[in-house]
Structure 1
Amino acid sequence: MTPTDIADPFSRRTFLLGALSAAATVAGCTTSTGVRSPPVPPVISRPILPPTEEELAVMYGAVEDDGILIPAIPYREIDPRFYRQRVANTTGEPDNTVIVDTPGRFLYITEPGGTAMRYGVGIGREGFAWQGEGTIHWRQHWPRWKPPNEMVARQPELARYSIENGGMEPGLKNPLGARALYIFQNGQDTLYRLHGSPEWRSIGKAVSSGCVRLMNQDIIDLYTRVPYHARIVVHQ
């Protein structure tokens, strides 16, 4: 199975809600009192339905990515609120915006047609350190993890993964997981990251360290949806 196999299982159920017929002529749209008929509701192009058991098995099943086998996630042990799912866009943000709802432990990427994909996330100390608007300036497959010097000072055992030593090589044990999205503001690195994680138990929780973490299967999906230099809004 490849990442494209899990990119969007919802597309199999994409449908158009039938628009109400506007089968009247121009004269028929107005009564003799001058009152116009109600407007035709907009066409909804995407379903807003929770994922089925079959879809969850595909979304969170084992997948090989860049030669690395990502194990299946026991999704039944996760609160269903935090499953990847399409929802109505109630964020007030335009299409192709990433929104991090830190208190709610959700991340959204808004879509055309009034919907958004929502993901459950885990938040760490660094996740509470920044808020506001920025740009996803850099994206990376299977990134190397280079803990900042401040972290190495607190945890000397991480010295072998320091910036000077080239960081930790990519892989399943790497804290940044399968993908990382790097957030910049005014051209400067905020040190705020959206990244994958093998620690699926941390989703929906505030954990000891890290920025905003998603399950590896979810960060792969998010990566395919976020355009280059996408706007990101982080709410604390």
Structure 2
Amino acid sequence: MGGITMTRRGFAALAAAGALTGCARSGEVFEEVGADVAQSNFVEGYGPVADGEYLLPGVPSEYLEGVNRRSLVAYTGDQAPGVIEIDPFAKFLFFVNEDGSAWRYPIAVGRAGKTLRSTTTIRRKEEWPGWQPTANMLRREPEVYGPFANGIPGGLASPLGARGLYLYSGSRDTFYRIHGTNDLGSIGNSGSAGCIRLFNQDIIDLYDRVPLGTRVVIRTYEDSVRIEGEAMANRGMELPPKIVSPETIYGALEDSAG
């Protein structure tokens, strides 16, 4: 696939594909959300990105209000430098630095991501990863995942976004992922499909910072309240499931390949 100029249909597919689950424990896909993205007046760090053969759209400022953007903050958690700590309640991911600071990224916590409890390790990193439902997903919910049995190739329409960090327990793939998303409205919220999702601009930034072997620790609700405060520990809302037709995704792939 060469350089891509996205049509209105293509942007709609990006928003829809962003909500397909990249994990094996969830069962929702999202309806088409079409929007032309203005290419000016972006928050610093969230404008359009030329990434290899892809032109990644910018993130409109309405999705970046308050704490819902990447920040370098004083780290007040309990983890050592070089660790990723995920707070699924305050909807933050922290990458802890040596100097007592941390990069804080807003996240979306999918239904699968909310079941992540144990400490894991990043054993695999992929740029523009493709996605395919697992055999278990196809068996449990064929009406949802059957149309996507052949998978979605890596690229702008992939549900895993621009980057994927694959979490392992020892040598075993947990099927949990930290990955990008095109479902911009999900960031800062929970209840959507998928695992732990970031704006694509943020997952690119995080991907470049973390090496293989990085530990990923999940913060408890009690620690979230203690560290972030009760209000922040209850940030966001539960998002209802929506449905997207496979024609939306595969049609946009055909458009972009043409």
Task: Measure how far apart 1:77 and its partner are.
Answer: 3.5
SS of structure 2 residue aligned to 1:173: coil
Task: Measure how far apart 1:155 and its partner are.
Answer: 4.4
1:66 aligns with 2:74: no
Q: 1:157 to 1:134 in 2, by over 3 A?
A: closer
C-alpha deviations, 1:27-68, integer Å up to 9, x for none?
xxxxxxxxxxxxxxxxxxxxxxxxxxxx96330000111211
Aligned to 1:143: 129
Q: How many residues align?
A: 179
Task: Measure how far apart 1:94 and its partner are.
Answer: 1.2
Aligned to 2:170: 186
Residue of 185, 194, 202 corresponding to 2:186:
202
Task: Measure how far apart 1:174 and its partner are.
Answer: 1.1
Task: Measure how far apart 1:235 and its partner are.
Answer: 2.4
CA distance in 2, matches of 1:109, 1:77: 22
Residue of 81, 84, 90 corresponding to 1:98:
84
Opposite residue 159 of structure 1, the aligned amino acid is: G
**Structure-to-structure mapping, 1:165-184, within 5 angstroms:** 165=150, 167-184=151-168
CA distance in 1, matches of 2:89, 2:107: 10
1:234 aligns with 2:234: no
Opposite residue 44 of structure 2, the aligned amino acid is: V
8 Å contact from structure 2 (residues 42, 60) kept in 1: no
CA distance in 2, matches of 1:56, 1:70: 13
Opposite residue 148 of structure 1, the aligned amino acid is: T
8 Å contact from structure 2 (residues 94, 105) kept in 1: yes
Aligned to 1:12: none
Opposite residue 203 of structure 1, the aligned amino acid is: I
**Structure-to-structure mapping, 1:1-236, within 5 angstroms:** 57-152=43-138, 153-162=140-149, 165=150, 167-236=151-220
CA distance in 1, matches of 2:176, 2:63: 28
Opposite residue 185 of structure 2, the aligned amino acid is: R
8 Å contact from structure 2 (residues 84, 217) kept in 1: yes
Task: Measure how far apart 1:171 and its partner are.
Answer: 1.8
Identity %: 37
SS of structure 2 residue aligned to 1:219: helix
8 Å contact from structure 1 (residues 146, 161) kept in 2: yes
Q: 1:77 to 1:196 in 2, by over 3 A?
A: closer
8 Å contact from structure 1 (residues 203, 214) kept in 2: yes
Aligned to 1:39: none
Larger gyration radius, structure 1 or structure 2? 1
8 Å contact from structure 1 (residues 139, 180) kept in 2: yes
Opposite residue 197 of structure 2, the aligned amino acid is: R
8 Å contact from structure 1 (residues 142, 170) kept in 2: yes
TM-score of the two chains, using structure 1 as the length reference: 0.71
CA distance in 2, matches of 1:58, 1:135: 31
Task: Measure how far apart 1:160 and its partner are.
Answer: 4.5
SS of structure 2 residue aligned to 1:125: coil
Q: Give the gaps of 5 or more residues in structure 1.
A: 1-54
Aligned to 1:46: none
8 Å contact from structure 1 (residues 132, 233) kept in 2: yes
CA distance in 2, matches of 1:231, 1:77: 29
Following TM superposition, where does structure 1 have runs of at least 4 consecutive aligned residues deviating by more than 6 angstroms? Answer: none
8 Å contact from structure 2 (residues 42, 59) kept in 1: no
Task: Measure how far apart 1:115 and its partner are.
Answer: 0.3
Larger relative contact order (Cα-Cα within 8 Å, sequence gap ≥ 6): 2
SS of structure 2 residue aligned to 1:194: strand
